[in-house]
Structure 1
Amino acid sequence: MTQSWAEQLVARVAGEVRRLRGKEHSALSAAKLSDRTVDIGFGISRSVVADLETGRKKSIDVAELLVLAAALGVSPAQLLYPDLPKGPVEILPGLEQESHEALRWFSGEAGLMKPSPDWTEADTEESAGVWVREQFDPRNDRVGITREWLQSLQTMRRARVQLRNGLSKSESAEHIETMQMAYEDARRRSEDLFHKMTELGMAVGDELDG
């Protein structure tokens, strides 16, 4: 099963590469695509592109995936999950879901949805078919906390601009106080996340506001 799943993954990438360089999109020949990969700094030959698209190439490494995506002007995730948003995809061997769920997992936005063995029918004690979303391990999840930090920075900066605008326009004291509180809350949140990332040994740089 695992080998079949792996081959299907490569076939999805191949199909999307072929589609993206087709006449309805970039009308890009295999040779031109190869030239683009050379320009990027990791050349993928025309024959390798052809072997991928015809199914002769049975595997694809991470470097090839990244460079092909860059050469075609799309996210690597699109090559892996081309049938967005609702097309079915076997995310892992035996685990089929809609493509948008695969994208959320791959990008670190949300854990996988999996059937839970903890839910059973009362009368038969058989599985009730309830699916639950797994959570990423907070001790190891650097993607989630980074996303949360970036969002807090955006909120803080937006609140700071609104506060400055309010001060320049001589808004009411009550309105200024509300904006000040919003800014301080966002600043504290970003600082808390910064210090948490530091404790986790993450590469946070030197400045709290990025």
Structure 2
Amino acid sequence: MTQRWSEEIVERVGREVRRLRGKDHAKMSAAGLADRTAALGHPVSRSVIADLEIGRKKSLDVAELLVLAQALQVAPVQLVYPDLPKGDVEVLPGRYVESHEALQWFSGVSALLSPLQESTDSERSVQIEVREVFASQRDRVSPTREWLLALRAMRSAQSQLRRAVARCAGTDEVETLQYVYLTSKEQAERAFEEMVAAGMPAGDGDSGV
């Protein structure tokens, strides 16, 4: 089962590469795509692309996935789960979810749903799904996402505040934007401090606020 599952991942990538390269999208030849990967610094040959698209290639390394995605100007996860948003996908061997669920798991937005058998008062067994959780002591994606979201909200509020002041907006609007800005700034600073305390790489220590 494991080999079949891993090969089906590669087949999905190949189908999506072929679709994105086709006439309804990039209208790019296999040679043209190969040239783009070479320009990105990790050449994927025309023959390898052809083998991938027709299902002859049975394995794909991460470097190939990343460079093909960039050459096609899509997120790498789209090549892995191309049937977004609702197409079923075997996210792990024998475990099927809708593609948007797989996307959220792959992107660190939320853990997978796990099937659970539960008995009812009538002694019948029903299957429910329970959301798993990421191991907080190992998860670097969630705190990074929270920091970035807070930064984005802060900068958006800052930009809107400047425009509001420039056009002499009312006091209520200005005060609301000031509140959003300051709250988002505090959230970004707090999230960054938590990442530093957790030993996550923080560059020169600049929180970005």
Q: Normalised by the size of structure 1, how large is the TM-score?
A: 0.88
CA 1:19–1:124 in structure 2 vs 1: closer, same or farther (change >3 Å)?
A: same
CA distance in 2, matches of 1:135, 1:152: 22
Structure 2 CA distance for aligned equivalents of residues 180 and 92 of structure 1: 46
Change (3 A) 1:13 1:161: closer
Q: Does the residue aligned with 2:51 lie in a helix, a strand or coil?
A: helix
Equivalence for 1:7:
7
1:135 equivalent in alignment to 2:133: yes
Query: Deviations for 1:113-163, whole angstroms, at most 9, x for unmatched residues?
Result: 11124x32333363x211121121221211111111111112222333444
Instruction: Structure 1: state its 5+ residue gaps.
Output: none
The unaligned stretches of length 5 or more in structure 2 are none
Question: Structure 1's 176 and 94: CA in aligned 2 closer, same or farther, altered over 3 A?
Answer: same
Letter in 2 for 1:186: S
Q: Give the secondary-structure state (helix, strand or coil) at the position aligned to 1:89.
A: strand
Distance 1:169 1:35 in 2: 50
Post-superposition offset of 1:48: 1.1
Rounded to whole Å, the distance in 1 between the matches of 2:40 and 2:27 is: 19
1: distance between equivalents of 2:70 and 2:172? 50
Q: Supply the AA of the counterpart residue of 2:134.
A: F
CA shift, 1:102, in A, is: 0.8
SS at match of 1:151: helix
Matches within 5 A, 1:1-210: 1-117=1-117, 119-124=118-123, 126=125, 128-165=126-163, 176-205=174-203, 206-209=205-208
CA distance in 1, matches of 2:18, 2:169: 57
Tell me, in whole angstroms, the C-alpha distance in 2 between the residues paired with 1:144 and 1:50.
37
Equivalent position SS for 1:132: strand
Could you say what the CA RMSD is over the residues aligned between the two structures, in angstroms? 2.1
Q: How many residue pairs end up in the alignment?
A: 208
Per the alignment, do residues 31 and 179 of structure 1 end up closer, same or farther by CA in structure 2, a change over 3 Å counting? closer
CA apart distance, 1:70: 1.1
Quick check: 78-87 or 24-33, which moved more?
24-33
> What's the TM-score, normalizing by structure 2?
0.89
Distance, in Å, in 1 between the alignment partners of 2:64 and 2:186 is 41
Structure-2 separation of matches of 1:166 and 1:78: 39
Give the whole-Å Cα distance in 1 for the aligned partners of 2:172 and 2:20: 55
Per-residue Cα deviation, 1:22-46 (whole angstroms, up to 9, x for no partner): 2222222222211111111111111
